[in-house]
């Protein structure tokens, strides 16, 4: 029986062939890192430029120079959180957030004397409490609001443009965590006037692991201090870090083989169109949701809002720990999925679901088939009959 991979919320697999071809082509033929004047360096520079253009087009950003190429969404989030916040600053994030938001905030709470508060969400529809956001913004002058666009556990999408408007009216900056939505949801970066948007290049955009991007509103780049300083191949006569994006935030050689794959993946997404990929993902997650709901031992964390699904469907099985279930699913049914807290440690307690060590998560990707979804549901049904 073929393997079924349902862990696309961690990283996408399988990837379109054009991604492997682009990486392999660069490893075979690419000679340089984008510094210098020879043909290899020019080709690498052209690749970087094309990738920034492609990402800017995908997210609706006006300035490709303000697309910083990173190692993933974690680095992108850290560039903003650690590069922006000063002692005394206040931040609003949420209980849906990933540790790549929560840990930098917790770190700065201790080392830089910032403060932060967390928005609650409704377990019924998975949505963050917008009234609470308004109240918190009215109560405390806030420097930054972190907006979780798609939850990597619940799989629900937040109305980030509406939330950003409230933040903007209160004079706060916005940082969108689009790790789970880039590649299939509408991001409208410039139109919604977001200040910063962190993207993964290896999930909804099915590029190689170790790729991502940060989009910066051009007039906000001077607010950020770079996290890493060093060689950029530009302004080399100066001992000072360049002040302009992207060099300001891209010290050291970029992961050019990965970026070649990211460029191919982003171009593939634009060719397929995010709207088509979104529809496919929604259909898969809705079918998963409905199939799992019919199994009596299943307790779904993902709320019953299929029109708002962005991929992940999480659940618990009564009488079976999620880690044991994941092992059986792989060994007996050739299904790879994720078990645990999914790096979002505040979500399960907030949903009142910590009697187990987390949940099982099935996350289809752009190349998952309906037959695989059906096989996954029947595997859980069999599992619940024989092991719970
Ligand atoms: C919501 C969310 N934010 C951030 C990240 C971190 O992304 P990356 O793996 O690209 O560093 C993830 C990864 O799963 C995520 O789901």
- Average pLDDT on 363-379 reads 96
Name which of 231, 230, 202, 198 is nearest 213 in CA terms: 198
Q: What digits encode the pLDDT tens for the residues 17-32?
A: 999 999 999 999 987 7
How remote is the CA of residue 129 from the centroid of ligand 1, in Å? Answer: 22
Decide the pairing of beta strands 144-148 and 298-300.
unpaired
Q: What digits encode the pLDDT tens for the residues 319-333?
A: 999 999 999 999 999
- Average pLDDT on 211-218 reads 98
How remote is the CA of residue 202 from the centroid of ligand 1, in Å? Answer: 10
The pick from 10, 55, 74 for probing ligand 1's pocket by mutation, whose C-beta has the most ligand atoms within 8 angstroms, reads 74
Is the pLDDT reported for residue 82 higher than 90? yes
Give me the sign of the Cα torsion angle 336, 339, 343, 346. Answer: positive
Closest ligand 1 atom, CA of 212?
10
- Which residues of the chain form CATH 3.40.640.10? 17-272
**How high is the pLDDT of residue 388?**
65
- Which residues of the chain form CATH 3.90.1150.10? 4-14+274-387
CATH number of 17-272: 3.40.640.10
- Average pLDDT on 67-77 reads 98
Q: Which residues line ligand 1 (CB under 6 A)?
A: 10, 72-74, 98, 100, 152, 177, 179-180, 200, 212
The contacts found for 226-229 with CB under 8 angstroms, 24 or more apart, are 226/79, 226/83, 226/251, 227/78, 227/79, 227/82, 227/83, 228/252
Which of 158-167, 173-182, 307-316 comes out lowest in average pLDDT? 307-316
Predicted confidence band at 354 (pLDDT cuts at 50, 70, 90)? Answer: low
Which of 189-198, 299-308, 343-352 comes out lowest in average pLDDT? 343-352
**How high is the pLDDT of residue 32?**
73
How remote is the CA of residue 74 from the centroid of ligand 1, in Å? Answer: 6
Closest ligand 1 atom, CA of 76?
11
How remote is the CA of residue 331 from the centroid of ligand 1, in Å? Answer: 27
Closest ligand 1 atom, CA of 151?
1
How remote is the CA of residue 32 from the centroid of ligand 1, in Å? Answer: 29
How remote is the CA of residue 179 from the centroid of ligand 1, in Å? Answer: 5
Closest ligand 1 atom, CA of 74?
11
Residue owning the nearest CA to atom 12 of ligand 1: 179
- Average pLDDT on 292-315 reads 94
Domain topology for 4-14+274-387: 3.90.1150
- Average pLDDT on 71-86 reads 98
Closest ligand 1 atom, CA of 149?
1
- Average pLDDT on 78-106 reads 98
Decide the pairing of beta strands 173-177 and 212-216.
unpaired
């Amino acid at each position: 029986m073929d393997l079924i991979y349902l862990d696309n919320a961690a990283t996408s697999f399988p990837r379109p062939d054009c991604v492997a071809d682009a990486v392999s082509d660069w490893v075979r033929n690419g000679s340089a890192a984008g510094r210098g004047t020879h043909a290899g360096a020019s080709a690498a520079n052209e690749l970087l430029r094309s990738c920034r253009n492609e990402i800017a087009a995908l997210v609706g950003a006006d300035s490709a120079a303000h697309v910083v190429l990173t190692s993933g969404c974690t680095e992108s989030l850290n560039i903003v959180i650690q590069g922006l916040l000063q002692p005394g600053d206040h931040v609003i994030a949420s209980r849906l957030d990933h540790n790549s938001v929560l840990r930098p905030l917790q770190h700065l709470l201790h080392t830089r004397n910032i403060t932060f508060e967390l928005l609650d969400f409704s377990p019924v529809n998975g949505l963050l409490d917008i009234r609470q956001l308004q109240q918190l913004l009215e109560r405390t002058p806030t420097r930054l609001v972190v907006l979780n666009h798609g939850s990597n556990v619940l799989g629900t999408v937040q109305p980030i443009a509406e939330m950003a408007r409230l933040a903007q009216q209160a004079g706060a900056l916005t940082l969108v965590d689009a790790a789970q939505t880039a590649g299939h949801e509408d991001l409208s970066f410039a139109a919604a006037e977001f200040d910063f948007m962190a993207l993964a290049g290896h999930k909804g955009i099915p590029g190689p692991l170790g790729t991502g991007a940060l989009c910066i509103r051009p007039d906000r780049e001077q607010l950020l201090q770079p996290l890493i300083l060093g060689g950029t191949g530009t302004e080399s006569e100066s001992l000072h870090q360049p002040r302009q994006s992207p060099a300001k935030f891209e010290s050291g050689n970029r992961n050019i083989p990965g970026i070649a794959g990211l460029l191919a993946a982003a171009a593939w997404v634009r060719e397929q169109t995010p709207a088509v990929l979104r529809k496919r993902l929604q259909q898969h997650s809705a079918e998963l949701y409905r199939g799992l709901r019919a199994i009596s031992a299943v307790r779904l964390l993902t709320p019953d809002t299929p029109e708002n699904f962005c991929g992940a469907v999480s659940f618990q099985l009564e009488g079976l720990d999620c880690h044991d279930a994941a092992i059986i699913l792989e060994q007996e049914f050739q299904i790879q999925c994720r078990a645990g807290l999914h790096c979002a440690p505040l979500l399960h307690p907030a949903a009142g679901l910590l009697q187990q060590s987390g949940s099982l998560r099935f996350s289809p990707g752009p190349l998952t088939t309906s037959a695989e979804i059906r096989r996954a549901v029947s595997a859980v049904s069999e599992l619940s009959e024989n092991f719970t």
